[in-house]
Amino acid sequence: MDPADLAAELAPGRASVRAAARVLSSALRGDPGFSHVLPEPHVRRSALDAIHRVGLTDGLRHGRVLGVHDDAGVAGVAVWYPPGAYPMSTLRKLRTLGPLVPVALAHPRRTAALARLGSAVEAGLRDAVPREGAWYLEVLGVRPDAQRRGHGRRLLAPVLADADRTGASCYLETSREENVRYYEGFGFRVVGEITALRPHGPVETQMLRAPRSG
């Protein structure tokens, strides 16, 4: 891939975070996990926007936030954390959870369910990654009208290349079956399932990618 085609680091700042959060929210509005925990569309919309503002703000401080752009603005975003940087510490959560407070006050039961899912995801990460840690793809989303144009590959390529160069693994989870096949194309393999939403909700498929040499 031509270096000019790769994603670039997202510029810090409130406007950038809000624009990126809107893209992620629109991309993940139909995510099976979020749809199960947040079944009401209006609740899901406000919660996803807050969740992604939290993740983007923390990712800019402690990880790598990559973006791709087109004529309409931000087309896709990925938040990556280097080995050992995720899950967030309690202090980091307290520093960044402000956007979720209005959602929690308005929808306490949904927020509690979301928190339980988040705890299960964090526990799954700890169990699945090797002892030396792994790059964690916390979220990747492409604006619906900009999908199937190679933006996902651009958001993956820089960190996968760095991981190969340094001998680091990469980890993610997804609740979409089609995403499992997509990520397998980049060398990820299924290593487990997070079943916190069973018996009525989807599983989160855990995937790990070993570094490639040469």
**What domains are defined for the chain?**
3-209 (3.40.630.30)
Phi, psi dihedral angles at 79 (to 5 degrees): -110, 120
Task: Lay out the sheet containing 64-70: strands in order across.
Answer: 8-9, 64-70, 73-81, 134-142, 169-174, 204-209, 189-194
Whole-prediction pTM: 0.94
Q: Which two tokens stand for residue 118?
A: 């988040």
pLDDT tens per residue across all 214 residues of the chain? 554 466 899 988 999 999 999 999 999 999 999 999 999 999 999 999 999 999 999 999 999 999 999 999 999 999 999 999 999 999 998 888 889 999 999 999 999 988 999 999 999 999 999 999 999 999 999 999 999 999 999 999 999 999 999 999 999 999 999 999 999 999 999 999 999 888 888 999 999 999 998 6
Q: What is the pLDDT of residue 3?
A: 46
Q: What is the pLDDT of residue 75?
A: 96
Residue 161: other Cβ atoms inside 10 A: 13
Strand (E) or helix (H) holding 36: helix 32-37
Q: What is the pLDDT of residue 101?
A: 92
List residues bridging with 76 in a β-sheet: 68, 142
β-pairing verdict for 169-174 and 134-142: parallel
